[in-house]
A and B are shown apart, each in its own frame.
Chain A
């Protein structure tokens, strides 16, 4: 049957191991114990019996991010620091002609052709995303200095 060689009595050492294991099982490691610290969106897994039961489609696929709304991308960018998702969101934003300002830590998009373009800056009307008031704002006559432009290939 299940134990062809028959059971063997457990030693006190084995009993001790079982007791320790039983204790440990009441404090199981959690999902975020071995993941990078996430300040805003800690991994709070909880049992769900409701719909949906399936996994979401592959979030890591790059073209998935290009289908998301800018606001979603901003959320991912600001609240999921240091993740692959943040990287992919930044990439998708760049593809949608958003540029990151490293001093203001905000994303800017040209609202019209700049009125002035020099070696050091461009100036004109921009749409930017204000993460404090959580919304898109328009700024006229803004000077975007290129030294604050985040222009790394990603």
Chain B
């Protein structure tokens, strides 16, 4: 069946691209697996390229693109046939699939390597055809394999690829963003495998010169993951597949927390914006991250003086432009003008309705807007206090336009709104920095100045619900809660809600024992 190259080229000159492609692909798979292919298949490739150009494949970019697409389809078809064959062992099926897929990946790599226009070819290879994805009988395997193998080969230490490394990373994260789980749910598991693959994480996050750009791209993929999970997590009604994906997400986050805590620090705001408010542990994981150069003092140290810590005046790096998220622009203008002039008072009374979206319980408020208002007001307050050469303290934060807004929100919002508002503040309780310190003081101030016990109860609830879950717990959260139950200022133990149920009372007492122990002993 096999003919020599020259003759075959002539024979095939009048036939369709489809047939040419099929012939060439088969030829290449054969060559790739021959021992004589040479290191990195380079020997096989040089003769194969001649063969391709004889068939006119290399004439135009468009033809190359079509060739790649047809090859991809053929590889996928082949895998589908193998996967759908009954009574085959999975090892055998994979053996068959990888046989072709790996050869195809090497072909792409070699063509990229030897083509002048190497940078945008990666994007030209539109590997995943959406028509396939919508198909209910979708198999992840071929796409998964092509993707990860291509990524690994293109990130091998080679001068040619090093030069365009950022573009390669860019191309991969673009495609992965297009194929995010909400768009291609049938690909979700393989997608998570790809973004958590050790080589992928390593290249995206560890290479220093590309760091900032690649970090942003990686953060976007994590946001995609949260966006997909959010509706299911929010309802806490998770069928098994969703639980699996959730577990996988937790593992990736743990890896990131351990190896790249700075990524979680820099993008904590972006992540918290899309994580549903009931996902305490995911959020704790993100909020617990702190720069590796830092040493955090034990929050249980008796008489810990937070305001004397050196880092307490340094603002954290926030990679999100949260002020720009305050939309419409008029709201931001009014807000800034109120912060400056402390008038008109109507701004305060209107604020609640401007944060509100609907009257449907559970969906009343614009949560991202609330989050951005809270952080914007807070960071403005810090700037204001520091411009007076002071550091935030319970007295320095009081009686200002900033505190007006917070106190007004605490009083004026209903239970749902206040819960979200307090959560937005607690999201800033992290490692020692100026935001952590300011919002810690503010929460305690709101507690002390509250005119109803409902507000105090809700502050306690928001803090406590983040502490009763398993570790990790953010440093600022612990410090704030310990201060609340320790300091006589807040008369914490005299409140009714502390004694409302025996199990809550017991719980609080056990927390108290663990933080006030040194004094009692």
CB-CB nearest in chain A for B198: A34
Determine whether B4 belongs to the interface, using a CB cutoff of 8 Å to chain A: no
Determine whether A52 belongs to the interface, using a CB cutoff of 8 Å to chain B: no
Taking a contact as CB atoms closer than 8 A, the residue among A5, A14, A29 that contacts B189 in the complex is A29
Determine whether A64 belongs to the interface, using a CB cutoff of 8 Å to chain B: no
Chain A, range 33-60, C-beta contacts under 8 Å to B: 33-34, 36-37, 42, 44
Task: Find the residue from A2, A3, A4, A19 having the highest chain B CB count within 10 A.
Answer: A4
**How near does chain B come to A129, taking the closest CB pair, in angstroms?**
21
Complex alpha-carbon distance, A28 and B248, angstroms: 12
**How near does chain A come to B367, taking the closest CB pair, in angstroms?**
9
Q: Which residues from B are CB-within-8-Å of A36?
A: 152
Q: Which residues from A are CB-within-8-Å of B12?
A: none
Interface membership of chain B positions 408-425, coded 1 if the CB is closer than 8 angstroms to chain A and 0 otherwise: 000000001001000000
Q: Which residues from A are CB-within-8-Å of B138?
A: 20, 23-24
Complex alpha-carbon distance, A124 and B37, angstroms: 35
Q: Which residues from A are CB-within-8-Å of B152?
A: 36
CB-CB nearest in chain B for A18: B239
**How near does chain B come to A80, taking the closest CB pair, in angstroms?**
16
Determine whether B65 belongs to the interface, using a CB cutoff of 8 Å to chain A: no
Q: Which residues from B are CB-within-8-Å of A21?
A: 181, 185-186, 188, 241-242, 245
In the complex, how many residue pairs between chain A and chain B have their CB atoms under 8 Å apart?
Answer: 112
Determine whether A22 belongs to the interface, using a CB cutoff of 8 Å to chain B: yes
Determine whether B359 belongs to the interface, using a CB cutoff of 8 Å to chain A: no
**How near does chain B come to A151, taking the closest CB pair, in angstroms?**
18
Interface membership of chain B positions 188-232, coded 1 if the CB is closer than 8 angstroms to chain A and 0 otherwise: 111001100100000000000000000000000000000010011
**How near does chain B come to A12, taking the closest CB pair, in angstroms?**
12
User: What size tier do the contact residues of chain B reach?
Assistant: 35 or more
Determine whether A32 belongs to the interface, using a CB cutoff of 8 Å to chain B: yes
Contact between B189 and A25, CB atoms less than 8 A apart = yes
Contact between A8 and B185, CB atoms less than 8 A apart = no
Contact between B242 and A18, CB atoms less than 8 A apart = yes
**How near does chain A come to B103, taking the closest CB pair, in angstroms?**
10
Chain B, range 97-155, C-beta contacts under 8 Å to A: 98, 102, 136-141, 144-145, 148-149, 152
Q: Which residues from B are CB-within-8-Å of A42?
A: 91, 94-95
Contact between A16 and B90, CB atoms less than 8 A apart = no
CB-CB nearest in chain B for A7: B235
Contact between B91 and A25, CB atoms less than 8 A apart = no
Determine whether A95 belongs to the interface, using a CB cutoff of 8 Å to chain B: no
Interface membership of chain B positions 240-263, coded 1 if the CB is closer than 8 angstroms to chain A and 0 otherwise: 111011000000000000000000
Task: Find the residue from A20, A34, A42 having the highest chain B CB count within 10 A.
Answer: A34
- Known contacts A17-B228, A18-B232, A34-B197; is-contact A25 B278 (Cβ 8 Å): no
Residues of A within 8 A of B (CB): 2-8, 10-11, 14, 16-25, 27-30, 32-34, 36-37, 42, 44
